[in-house]
Amino acid sequence: SLSVPSGDSSTFGGEGGDTADSVRGSYEERLERFTHLRTEERRRGRTLGRARSAAFVVAGLLGLGADVAGGPVALALAVAGSVTFILFLGLVFRHRYVRRRERWFGELAEVNDIALRRLARDWPAMPEPRPMEAAPGHPYAADLDVMGRASLFRLCTTITTPPGAATLRDWLLTPAPPGEVRLRQEAIQELAPRVDFRQELNARGRLSEPPDPASLSRFLEWAEGTPWLATSPWLRWASWILPLLTVGLTAAYVQGSIAYPFWLISLGVAFALDNLRRERIHADMDAASGGQGGFARYATLLDLVLGMEATSPALMEIQESVRSSPVGAVEELRRLGRLVGWADTRFNGLVHAPLQALLVWDLHVLAALDR
């Protein structure tokens, strides 16, 4: 079931059961269709590329003409140049969209091409999986060709994520209780005929670069540890009191209620607070940023898993794990991404300095990340 999906007649065109020929024919038809769609998008992309270049040149010439001409002619040329430049921007966004579609159909075509190689057991032409080996002296890995070049692991592997590959390896090398085996078989039987879902999951994974293991390790160490900021409540109080104090003292100084700019003191304390704990605060922000960069690549995969219709207990359990928070894993990743974007303002001195002085920005962002 893992290497040659069995499906109903509506999927593969068979009656009462699928043969290798019907499965091969299905993959060949899909390969031809997605290759054609990729070619069409590539053709559209070339046309749009030429059109956006022409629009840019025309907008530039109209702008030069408006600068040289005078009176109503200059105004007309300026308006025409502005409209042409807006058209250029629209073509840029459209071109990017078409390029994404071209790559998407290309990945789907490649998925079906690989499926045909797997059916043919064309080992030299099949992609090499990530290097994984059985432990020395494993009781059956070598005898049954479970791992290695022409192996069951390589035949079954359409996996695109490191954790997925490790899970498959462990399933093939570690005996499972009979009840667990039946649950896995039920899930495989449910997924086998759902070619569109499986290939979309595969293609989305292929478009996601594998995350950096070191960054993920730092992220997990931070995320699963005790929030450092929770052990320093005085910092949280300071992050709220100092901005209010700055606003109040500034208002009093502007109104003449106080004679001296005491608000400069609260600003100075905010800067001093940032310098005092900057190394620790930014280390936690870096850890969060590295994890978000890695896990965000899985968001589209998790989104697809959430949308699948699952009836087997094993697949339903996976869906529930993705829904483990009140808003679900996909939305949690989006929220993490927004917070990491706020944290990354520390790399822009012109923006970060006033935010830090007025709001004690880093402490508020880190508190949000901890939550």
- Tens digit of each residue's pLDDT (9 = 90 or more) over 3-58: 333 333 333 333 334 577 889 999 999 999 999 999 999 999 999 999 999 999 99
- The model's pLDDT over 329-353, given as tens digits with 9 standing for 90+, comes to 788 888 888 899 899 998 988 888 8
Confidence band, pLDDT 50/70/90 cuts, at residue 178: very high
pLDDT at 210 over 90: no
Q: Name 203's Cβ contacts closer than 8 Å, sequence gap at least 6.
A: 104, 107, 108, 111
Mean pLDDT computed over 349-359: 84
Stated pTM of the model: 0.72
8-state DSSP, 210: P
Residue type, 345: T
**According to the model, what pLDDT value does residue 233 have?**
86
8-state DSSP, 127: P
pLDDT at 91 over 80: yes
- Per DSSP, the three-state class of 303 is helix
232: left (phi over 0), alpha (psi -120 to 50) or beta: beta
Residue bearing the bigger pLDDT, 182 or 357: 182
**According to the model, what pLDDT value does residue 12 have?**
36
User: Secondary structure of 12-67 in the HEC alphabet?
Assistant: HCCCCCCCHHHHHHHHHHHHHHHHHHHHHHHHHHHHHHHHHHHHHHHHHHHHHHHH
Q: What percentage of the chain has pLDDT greater than the value 90?
A: 40
| Cβ atoms < 10 Å from Cβ of 348 | 10
Mean pLDDT computed over 164-170: 90
Q: Compute the distance between CA of residue 1 and CA of residue 178 in angstroms, rounded to an integer.
A: 18
308, 314, 321: which is closest to 183 by C-alpha?
A: 314
- Secondary element (H or E) of residue 125: none
Q: How open is the CA angle 296-188-165, to the nearest 5 degrees? A: 45
Q: Compute the distance between CA of residue 342 and CA of residue 288 in angstroms, rounded to an integer.
A: 12
What does pLDDT average to over the chain? Answer: 86
**According to the model, what pLDDT value does residue 10 have?**
36
- Per DSSP, the three-state class of 205 is helix
**According to the model, what pLDDT value does residue 4 have?**
34
Highest mean pLDDT among 4-13, 44-53, 269-278, 283-292: 44-53
Q: Compute the distance between CA of residue 286 and CA of residue 176 in angstroms, rounded to an integer.
A: 39
Confidence band, pLDDT 50/70/90 cuts, at residue 161: confident
8-state DSSP, 323: T
| Cβ atoms < 10 Å from Cβ of 274 | 20
8-state DSSP, 296: G
Angle between helices 299-307 and 329-343 (to 10 degrees): 160
Q: Compute the distance between CA of residue 228 and CA of residue 312 in angstroms, rounded to an integer.
A: 41
Confidence band, pLDDT 50/70/90 cuts, at residue 146: very high
